[in-house]
Chains A and B, each alone.
Chain A
Amino acid sequence: SQQGEEDPQALSIQEGENATMNCSYKTSINNLQWYRQNSGRGLVHLILIRSNEREKHSGRLRVTLDTSKKSSSLLITASRAADTASYFCAPGGFKTIFGAGTRLFVKA
């Protein structure tokens, strides 16, 4: 298992704008997951993308995966104040490892 590295560390946008955050990893994976954390408590699973998928949608979320570049991106469209949270990627493995995350702040 390996740790993903999220970028940017922090992001501040206006409500209604799109938010994009990126994740890079080092070795081949079978899947990659994104999680959200509000207020430093439990993480919530958002979406899983498999290595044979290039793009996946879930509501206002769009995740891409580029296995040749070992990177993934999470796009939140039409952001809301409630999207304010920290976002983490977790490259696939039996042992789920997290990086430092991207702290997103959506201003109303």
Chain B
Amino acid sequence: GAGVSQTPSNKVTEKGKYVELRCDPISGHTALYWYRQSLGQGPEFLIYFQGTGAADDSGLPNDRFFAVRPEGSVSTLKIQRTERGDSAVYLCASKQGPLENTEAFFGQGTRLTVV
């Protein structure tokens, strides 16, 4: 597609369940980012991929969060044993390369609600 696509757009899950959030970056973009945003806050960095490998996962809050990008394109953010505090909008962005002076293109996000 022409832009970054995130699915689903909304997800409601029960506390304790497992969820997967998907991100399809712009074709050819090697860098991919996941962010989490709570109401009234800025996007909080979670993890950054360069190709298939996680170049920086320092933002993942705990070991319930995990992300993969096995073929260097689509990425999946996985959350185990969800908690109510995980409720937020999860944003994905992609960049053309590891260069500092390139812009990030964002998807519309997945709104996760844990009840």
* A-to-B contact residues, CB < 8 Å: 30-31, 33, 35, 40-45, 48, 50, 86, 88, 90, 92-101
Contacts and interface: CB of A to CB of B under 8 A. Distances in A.
A61 to B, nearest CB: 14
Contact of A30 (B43, B44, B56, B100): B100
Contacts, number: 65
Given A42-B91, A43-B93, A30 B42 contact: no
B10 to A, nearest CB: 12
Given A30-B100, A42-B108, A48-B101, 20 more contacts: A31-B101, A40-B89, A41-B108, A41-B109, A42-B91, A42-B93, A43-B91, A45-B104, A45-B105, A50-B101, A86-B42, A88-B43, A90-B104, A94-B48, A95-B45, A95-B48, A96-B93, A97-B45, A98-B44, A99-B42
Interface in B1-59: 4, 31, 33, 35, 37, 39, 41-45, 48, 55-56
Nearest to B48: A95
B98 interface: yes
Nearest to A5: B42
A57 to B, nearest CB: 17
Contacts of B55: 94-95
A24 B39 CA distance: 23
A101 B37 CA distance: 12
A40 B4 contact: no
